Structures are given as structure tokens and as C-alpha cells.
């Protein structure tokens, strides 16, 4: 919590010093439209994120069962951990620095710079700096997601949009299907894990279809929206 407060203070100082504005440029005040975007985008991103697990159930014959140790403290901790990490990343990559880039360079260049930085950042969080193949795929995936998050802010003039998308995606991956670093969540994989051989087509379908649909859904949503001046 202290880290987020420090981020907000630094963000405020930057935007006051560079643009002579305040944190309202991030669209932080709640409104009906922003809350609706937050909830809708969260649900849509969560659905897209879950597709990879359904494909694994179908093609890799995995079995996921309700976590027998699931309890309220674990659930609340998972929600808070994901929300905190999402807000932390959004303030860095779609916060005041991104807003300044939009003002100085325009939306297209700002979105590209933010997405590249987001992709490189995840080389460190995933610890793949010594593996060029993993670096490439991690960059492709996180650059693509970062592009949609940045586009969401640019088109809605609010952090509610990228926070909703980002949180929906992460909570499904890390908590609903226990694929994150916080331990077991809602569903856990029944052991032993089946050893199934699939074609390259099925492998790439399982690996990338959920990301492709995520990009497609939100690109469609944002394509007719014209960016407005905050």
C-alpha cells in the first residue's frame, strides 16, 4: 500500500512539474461510464484469458478441480495482490509518463513506446534474460497486451479501462487457474498431469488463441472510439 501511495505522490509531482496539471488527467474520478468500462472490460478479459485453460482441458486432457483448501483469507489476499500489482504497473506504463508522451509525441508513438517498455519490463519479472527464445515470446505476448492496455487508456482517457482489462486477465491466470506466483487459487490441477502429444497447430492454438482473441475483442471495441483530449 505504501508503495502505491509513493507512486501517486511521484506521479503528481511529475505531472505538476512537466505539464502544470494534476492527476485528474488519468481519469481517476469514478463515473458511470468509467465504472461500466472497468467491470465490462474485466469480464471480457477474464473470458479471453480462460480460453487457454479450456483448450488444455479439451486437447491436453488436463483436469482442474476446486481447491479443497480455498478459504476467504486466501481469496481476499489473491484479489488484493493482483489489484495492487495491476495498479502498480498501470501507474508506471499507462500513467503520467504515458500521458506526457501522448501530449508530446502523439498517440501512436506514445502507445508504441509504452508497449515496448512493458514488454522489456517483463523480461526481468519473468527472469528470462539468459534465454533468447523465451525473451522473444515473452516480449511478443506482453507487448501485445501492453498495446491494448495503452490503447484503452488513449481511447477512454482513463486508467479504469486498462486496469479492468489487466486485472481481468491476471486474476484468471493467477487465481482462478492457479498459474501465478501466489500459490493455489480457485481451481488446482489434478495430478498426475497427463502426458499428451499434440500437433504444432494445437500447441500454438493453446498458447496463443486466448491472446489473439483478447486483442481482437478490444481492438474491435476501441476501433470506433475517437480519442478525446483529457
Q: The whole model's pTM is what?
A: 0.91
Packed helices 107-125 and 72-93: angle between N→C axes, nearest 10 degrees: 130
Please say if the pLDDT value at position 230 is more than 50.
no
Copy the grid coordinates of residue 178.
492457479
CA distance 181 to 145: 19
The confidence score (pLDDT) of residue 224 equals: 72
The confidence score (pLDDT) of residue 229 equals: 40
Residue 63 Ramachandran class (φ > 0 left, ψ -120 to 50 alpha, else beta): beta
Residues in contact with 170: Cβ distance below 8 Å, sequence separation at least 6, in sequence order: 49, 82, 85, 86, 180
CA distance 160 to 166: 10
The confidence score (pLDDT) of residue 226 equals: 58
Q: Give the CB-side neighbour count of residue 37, counting CA atoms within 13 A.
A: 23
Kind and range of the H or E run holding 166: helix 160-171
Copy the grid coordinates of residue 230.
483529457
Q: How far is CA 164 from the centre of its chain?
A: 8
pLDDT tens, residue by residue, 140-190? 999 999 999 999 999 999 999 999 999 999 999 999 998 877 778 999 998
Q: Are 145 and 90 in contact (CB under 8 A)?
A: no
Amino acid at each position: 500500500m505504501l508503495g502505491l501511495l509513493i507512486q501517486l505522490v511521484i506521479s503528481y509531482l511529475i505531472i505538476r512539474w512537466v505539464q502544470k496539471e494534476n492527476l485528474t488527467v488519468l481519469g481517476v474520478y469514478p463515473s458511470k461510464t468509467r465504472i461500466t468500462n472497468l467491470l465490462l472490460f474485466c469480464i471480457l478479459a477474464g473470458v479471453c484469458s480462460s480460453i487457454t485453460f479450456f483448450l488444455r482441458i479439451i486437447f491436453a486432457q488436463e483436469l482442474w478441480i476446486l481447491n479443497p483448501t480455498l478459504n476467504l483469507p486466501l481469496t481476499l489476499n489473491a484479489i488484493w495482490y493482483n489489484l495492487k500489482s495491476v495498479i502498480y504497473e498501470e501507474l508506471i506504463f499507462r500513467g503520467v509518463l504515458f500521458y506526457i508522451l501522448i501530449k508530446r509525441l502523439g498517440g501512436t508513438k506514445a502507445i508504441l513506446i509504452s508497449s515496448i517498455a512493458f514488454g522489456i519490463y517483463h523480461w526481468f519479472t519473468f527472469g528470462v534474460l539468459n534465454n533468447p527464445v523465451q525473451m522473444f515470446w515473452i516480449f511478443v505476448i506482453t507487448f501485445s497486451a501492453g498495446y491494448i492496455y495503452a490503447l484503452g487508456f488513449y481511447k477512454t482517457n482513463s486508467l479504469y479501462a486498462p486496469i479492468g482489462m489487466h486485472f481481468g486477465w491476471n486474476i484468471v491466470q493467477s487465481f482462478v487457474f492457479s498459474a501465478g506466483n501466489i500459490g493455489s487459487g480457485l481451481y488446482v490441477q489434478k495430478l498426475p498431469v497427463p502426458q499428451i502429444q499434440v500437433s504444432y497447430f494445437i500447441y500454438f492454438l493453446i498458447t496463443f488463441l486466448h491472446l489473439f482473441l483478447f486483442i481482437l475483442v478490444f481492438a474491435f471495441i476501441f476501433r470506433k472510439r475517437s480519442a478525446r483530449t483529457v
